Structure 1
Amino acid sequence: MHFTIFDTPIVRDVFRVLSILLLKLSGWKLKGEFPLLDKYVMIGAPHTSNWDFPITLGLCFASRAKIYWMGKHTLFKGPMGPVMRWLGGIPVTRHQNNSLVQQMVDVYGRSSRLVVAIPPEGTRRAVKEWKTGFYHIAHGARVPIALAYLDYSRKEGGFGPMFMPSGDVERDMPLIRAFYADKVGRYPG
């Protein structure tokens, strides 16, 4: 089952107008613009709430930005599967050791344009250490990392600098995390 009606410019324009309206009514704004590169890994932090997803999608629709995201394979079952794929979802099975990093590196290699959004925490719960899959995907694909955020204290989403991974994860991760020191999730801590 494929929802081709969603692939029309009219439907995208309707979602854009609705997103702009809902973001404005809720007080959310986008700081800056989506990077104008064909390929990059976009990380978003802090990720503390299910609300992060619709706010991020709203910012994307409002900006006419197309991103992809990885989600639990169970989100793609049943009638919502095609909708989730249209929204940019890539189903993944997290409990299998299936070299997800290499699979994504290969997808970047085959793609002329690709932006995949990945929450570095890997969960909505508070974590001390971030997962490093996003880093290894970017390094393996030789693409930069866009440091994106949702800051609930300011009701803004935006971007920091682009970060090109050196391959030295121990050196680079503290530099990446430092950008997020003053960003506040919906549920801090």
Structure 2
Amino acid sequence: MNKVPENIPRRRGKWMASFASKMLNLTGWSVTGDFPQHRKFIIAVGPHTSNWDFLVGCAVMLKFRVKIKILAKDGLFFWPMSSLMHYLGAIPVARGQKSGLVEQIVERFNQEEQMILGLAPEGTRTSGKALKTGFLHIAHQANIPVMPVNLNFKLKQVELLPAVSISSDIDRELEQFIQYFDYQCAKNPQINSTG
């Protein structure tokens, strides 16, 4: 269980992987499920209600030495933070300029032989924000699957769920994705991003 397939893009850093693994063990976190047998896919992590979500996700990424691209607001790319963001595989995104982002990411997937994009469908941890559909449009247009990942803070488990193909019926796919995330087990369950 939790074996990383050979065709998944990997990162260097055995020392960092060992450190991340120890941190997860010390804090009581475990990982269930497996990574899919795909060269390209999106990881959709939810529910996103806390900054801890990002830290737990990064620890899992480093533990398994999986190379994952993430979207991050461009305001985080300042020295010395920019070095860390690049190390984590972050792609800068201007929050106010959202036009063309889906097309840019689709084109990037088309150009790469291997690529994993990790994101939180809510886009923000602010209360009352519903899931956004951008990740579904990217997956459908690039013809790649999406692996849902549920963050269960009650059990302290990062739950890797089976990857799913995305049809052109984005509204129906969105309704399905809401079911993958257990908001009662979020870090801050009072923040319900489904409505």
TM-score by length of 1: 0.90
Correspondences of 1:1-189 after superposition (within 5 Å): 9=12, 12-127=13-128, 129-181=130-182, 184-189=185-190
Deviations 1:65-117 (A, max 9, x none): 11111000011122221221111111100201431000000000001111111
Take 1:108 and 1:82, find their aligned partners in 2: how far apart are those partners? 23
SS at match of 1:17: helix
| Runs of 4+ off more than 4 Å | none
Deviation at 1:34, TM superposition (A): 2.1
Deviations 1:32-60 (A, max 9, x none): 22223110011000011111111111111
Give the count of matched residue pairs: 180
Deviation at 1:183, TM superposition (A): 5.8
Task: Between 124-133 and 98-107, report the one with greater CA deviation.
Answer: 124-133
Take 2:60 and 2:98, find their aligned partners in 1: how far apart are those partners? 33
**Contact 1:41/1:146 (8 A) holds in 2:** yes
SS at match of 2:128: coil
Take 1:156 and 1:75, find their aligned partners in 2: how far apart are those partners? 28
**Contact 2:136/2:173 (8 A) holds in 1:** no
TM-score by length of 2: 0.87
Residue type of the partner of 2:27?
Answer: S
Deviations 1:106-151 (A, max 9, x none): 0000011111111011111233521101111111111001111211
Unaligned runs of 5+ in 2: 1-10, 191-195
Across the aligned residues of Structure 1 and Structure 2, the Cα RMSD in angstroms comes to 1.5
Task: Between 83-92 and 177-186, report the one with greater CA deviation.
Answer: 177-186
SS at match of 2:51: coil
